[in-house]
Chains A and B, each alone.
Chain A
Amino acid sequence: KAGVTQTPRYLIKTRGQQVTLSCSPISGHRSVSWYQQTPGQGLQFLFEYFSETQRNKGNFPGRFSGRQFSNSRSEMNVSTLELGDSALYLCASSRSGGRTGELFFGEGSRLTVL
């Protein structure tokens, strides 16, 4: 059974640019959650999508957005990048949501903003 796939794995951007990250969940999983991981901050919740609808949102500015497609694949976008956006962005899929079941994480997309 294929795991959660995130692309790209690594990317470098400059301040002011925008970036789009992609996440393909495990087949049959309808929930996709996004987390930002930085040293010392742990895993910060960005948002969760379920059946193409944003079900929950964390405390991030509006520059962070996401969407989910009918095949459950999800993308997140960060506009007007800032140096502080440098982080590992993790996507996690589950059948019904992380609070009720196991989350399966991808290996992440490591974003460096220069």
Chain B
Amino acid sequence: QQPVQSPQAVILREGEDAVINCSSSKALYSVHWYRQKHGEAPVFLMILLKGGEQKGHDKISASFNEKKQQSSLYLTASQLSYSGTYFCGTDEGDTDKLIFGTGTRLQVFP
């Protein structure tokens, strides 16, 4: 079951904040976040495990609400380098598959 990401696209000015959401209709064991810049391979940002704590990576952090089967990625004081498409990947635990959402395109302008 492919997770649903929202919004589909975000346009920001440098220094602004953004939140990207990822939700699933099934119970999740973990949520993974990746970023893909235009013309490049997706790059790992972080994994959030069931029962784990909120993670952070520089000014990018994420939370995982197991009860709601949702995760949110928080981008604080965005930089030009944050531009790209963000994918969440979900692991339902009963399969060994990591299923990705359709992505959220983030554009940061000066």
Contact = CB atoms under 8 A, between A and B. Distances in A.
Nearest to A55: B96
Interface string B82-96: 000001010100011
A108 interface: yes
Contacts of B29: 99
Interface residues of B, number: 23
Interface string A70-114: 000000000000000000001010000111011111111000000
B4 to A, nearest CB: 11
Interface in A44-64: 44-45, 48, 55-56, 58
Interface of B: 2, 29-30, 32, 34, 40-44, 47, 87, 89, 91, 95-103
Closest 10 CB pairs of A and B: A42-B102, A105-B41, A43-B100, A98-B98, A99-B91, A102-B44, A56-B97, A105-B42, A42-B103, A99-B98
Interface of A: 4, 33, 35, 40-45, 48, 55-56, 58, 90, 92, 97-99, 101-108
Given A35-B100, A56-B97, A99-B91, 20 more contacts: A33-B98, A40-B102, A42-B100, A42-B103, A43-B87, A45-B97, A45-B99, A45-B100, A90-B41, A90-B42, A98-B98, A99-B29, A99-B30, A99-B96, A102-B47, A103-B32, A103-B34, A104-B44, A106-B41, A107-B41
